[in-house]
Amino acid sequence: MEVCDTFARGMRMASRFRALPSVDRVMSDTRVDALSRAYSRRAVLELVRDRLAVARRRIAENGDDAPGLDELAGEVSAQARSRFATWPRRVINATGVVLHTNLGRAPLSAAAADAVREAAAGFGDLELDLATGRRGSRQAAVARHICELTGTEAATVVNNNASAVLLGLAAIAAGKQVIVSRGEAVEIGGGFRIPDVLRQSGAELVEVGTTNRTYARDFEDAIGDDTGALLLVHASNFRVMGFTHSPGIAELAQIGRRRGVPVLHDLGSGCLLDTKPFGLAHEPMPQESAAAGVDVMFFSGDKLLGGPQAGIIAGSRRMLDIVSRHPLARAVRIDKLSMAALNSTLLHYVKGEAEREVPVWCMIGAKPDDIRARAERWRRALAGKPGDARVLESTSAIGGGSLPGETLPTWALSVSGVDAARLAERLRAADPPVIGRVERDALLLDPRTVLEDEDDALLAGLVGALGN
Ligand SMILES: *Cc1c(COP(=O)(O)O)cnc(C)c1O
């Protein structure tokens, strides 16, 4: 009896496998054939083989029926649409995390986005002096803005802050010792660890002080003939609390000057605006480091500066000359699209309009009452839909390794009474995808990080994801 059952099941499965169309049959379907012609036969063939393998597995493991040609062609078309679409896809960030590294950190201002488009679509005077017709510098225009904003003598821009620090150390301290506080020999994330970067630059790390307390005299005592630099690193993604001490920047700058050792400062975020009036802890500012007498500083373009990915190196003319001439500078060169975006972003600060024009600062500065009114509007649009929609007090975060633990009070739309994880998944499948966060069985959408013109798209996605 048992043998007969197994035999019958085997026969049924064999007939399902036989019913599965061949690779050639699927490839010659008119829709699939059109895809091969429009894109690449090789890539479409891979998709077809992939779909057939999935179907075979489902027959073997779940006893599913073989999908028909129509179904397979439909699946291949859907997969091809996403594989051959432009990328990255625009998504709506309703997480409330202002600088979301997985979502590309800072969105650009309208002016910066226009400048990228303009720079991308044609030729430009990137390295041409239009007045003389001679070769110009791709750094000059942006460096002028940086110097004006930070009060430094000179500046140069590279690919990102990680490469800025690497280049700075290689140019200034290769073959020498670099003194770092034990509490600042940190990992920034994504494999960027100060001790490793130092080693890669050819400099030798000398740790001084203790994890929680380091004094200026610890630095001073460690200075010797082999000292190439003192390095300060802003511990941007964690906080040490309680019995702690770290020397002031001005104190170290003074020691450096007295002993003839350059003082370098990795600020992490390039925060050109004071964070205090926004209700946040103080974030170190490049202007302050310059005023304190730091020789060279490094900061990111796409953290609190609110611009494109970039690494900014600013400081004394003498040090910047050394940095710019180092062979690594060419290896970490920034591209023209990022330069265009950075130039426009910096101009917002020069014109004193950053709070109004730079999206990151608009989000940080958004008034709770306005956020609440927006969340209420979203809630009203969900009247009659499944789930329990309310507007709740919540918190937004800065993210991007800036201002750890600092939050801003906000109001979020909460949808409960439905499968929140499933709803989040359906929102990610919307067009454009909407990214929220799931907290205690509810889906939360924070208006703070949703750009002004994205409300309609967000609501359409939400209504669609909730169904009827
Ligand atoms: C974020 C950060 C970096 C790396 O900057 P990227 O622009 O992401 O390369 C380096 N140092 C510190 C202190 C940081 O916070």
Tell me, what CATH number does 172's domain have?
Answer: 3.40.640.10
CA 287–ligand 1 middle distance (angstroms) = 18
Task: State which of 266, 269, 283 you would mutate to test the pocket of ligand 1, scoring each by most atoms of that ligand within 8 A of its C-beta.
Answer: 266
Last residue of a domain, one of 301, 319, 353: 353
pLDDT score, position 1: 53
| Closest approach atom of ligand 1 to CA 300 | 7
Which one is predicted more confidently, 159 or 9? Answer: 159
337 and 286 belong to one structural domain? yes
pTM, entire model: 0.92
Is there a single domain that holds both residue 190 and residue 308?
A: yes
User: What does the pLDDT read at residue 404?
Assistant: 77
Residue whose CA lies nearest to ligand 1 atom number 14: 268
- High-pLDDT (> 70) share of the chain, %: 99
Q: Whose CA is nearest to atom 8 of ligand 1?
A: 161
Q: Where does a domain end: 353, 383, 413?
A: 353
CA distances from 432 to 133, 385, 421, 441, 454 (A): 46, 20, 18, 24, 10
The verdict on 41 and 139 lying in the same domain is: no
Single out the residue in 295, 323, 353 at which a domain terminates. Answer: 353
**Same-domain status, 428 and 371:** yes
Span from the CA of 242 to the centroid of ligand 1 (angstroms): 25
Measured in Å, residue 195 CA sits from the centre of ligand 1 at: 14
Residue 165: closest CA among 342, 335, 328, 399: 328
Per-residue pLDDT tens digits for 286-328: 999 999 999 999 999 999 999 999 999 999 999 999 999 999 9
Do residue 235 and residue 280 come from a single domain? yes
Residue nearest to atom 1 of ligand 1 (CA): 268
Residues of the domain holding 64? 2-83
Cα 328 to averaged position of ligand 1 atoms, centre (Å): 18
Average pLDDT over residues 335-352: 98
pLDDT at 464 over 70: yes
**Type of residue numbered 174:** A
Q: What is the pLDDT of residues 31-87, one digit of tens each?
A: 999 999 999 999 999 999 999 999 999 999 998 999 999 999 999 999 998 899 999
> What per-residue confidence (pLDDT) applies to 211?
84
Distance from the CA of 36 to the center of ligand 1, in angstroms? 43
Q: Do residues 146 and 31 both lie within one domain?
A: no
Looking at the structure, do residues 378 and 342 belong to the same domain, yes or no?
no
Among 199, 209, 258, 201, smallest CA distance to 232 is for 209
Q: Exposure string (b/e) for 258-269, b if CB count within 10 Å is 16 or more?
A: eeebbbbbbbbb
One DSSP character per residue, 402-451 reads SSTT-EEEEEEEEEESS-HHHHHHHHHTSSS-EE-EEETTEEEE-GGGS-
Say yes or no: 397 and 332 in one domain: no
Distance 198 CA to ligand 1 centre (A): 14
Residue 370 · residue 362 · CB < 8 Å: no
Mean pLDDT of the chain, nearest integer: 94
CATH number at residue 452: 3.90.1150.180
77-127 per-position pLDDT tens digit: 999 988 999 999 999 999 999 999 999 999 999 999 999 999 999 999 999
Q: Does 132 share its domain with 220?
A: yes
Ligand 1 midpoint to CA 135 (Å) = 32
What is the Cα–Cα distance from 344 to 107, expressed in whole angstroms? Answer: 13
Residues 79 and 186 in one domain: no
Residues 339 and 370 in one domain: no
My answer on whether 420 and 458 are in the same domain is: yes
Structural domains in the chain (count): 3
Using a 6 Å CB cutoff, which residues line ligand 1? 160-162, 165, 188, 192, 233-234, 236, 266, 268, 300, 311, 401
Residue 175 has pLDDT above 90, yes or no: yes
